Structure 1
Amino acid sequence: MRAHAQSPWITATPGTLCHAMTVRACQAAGFTPRVRHQVDEFATVLALVAAGQGVAVVPQLGVTGPADPAVRLTRLLMERRTNLAFRSGAGAHPAVAAFGTALRVAVPPDLVGSRAEA
């Protein structure tokens, strides 16, 4: 990250978790990002990176296919967790159970944490 302290950055819009994660990661590396673009759609972020418009932090789930050859993907030592929240006792409801199953099927196994609960 520190190697890109002087680079223009592409972040999500302020108020989003993706924006906060990018700013915090940059600050932890000792700088504040110089934001050139604010975009909330990962394919567009990657297209801007490929066009040389800046660097960005994109979650692994945001990379849905082969990366453009102009984009270099580097895994960072940070992560975030996404949880499925539902009202107590509703875990067995067919809609909640179906949604949880769909999420588990959609997420690649190497990204599933150890706390997969029904």
Structure 2
Amino acid sequence: MSNVQDYASRLSDPGSRKMGTFSYLPPMDAAQIRKQIEWIVSNGWNPAIEHVEPQHAMDSYWYMWKLPMFGETDIDLILAELDACHRANPDNHVRLIGYDNFKQSQGASMVIHRGRAV
């Protein structure tokens, strides 16, 4: 196991904190974000947008941006809502969630915009 990379994520260093699997990868470009949204929609999951101040990102509660977008399949509309949330909360992390109706849980969750580290 010595070949496994250690990600030095520490509470004392807000810039090092990781939030989910995608945060260990390089940032997604616009085309990759679009593909993730297409995947969420193709699975029949309901997109929802949440945001939070970076210093509270590790807490269990994030603020919901509007209601979940039940049944929404328009990728451009989902992207527009992500951007609107980011414009309204420029210092906050903004994440996209795909709610799986069948399993009654989150099927996907990824931070789309990272806020400024405190």
What's the TM-score, normalizing by structure 1? 0.21
> Which protein has greater RCO, CA pairs closer than 8 Å, 6+ apart?
2
Structure having the larger proportion of residues in helix: 1
What's the TM-score, normalizing by structure 2? 0.21
* Structure of higher CA gyration radius: 1
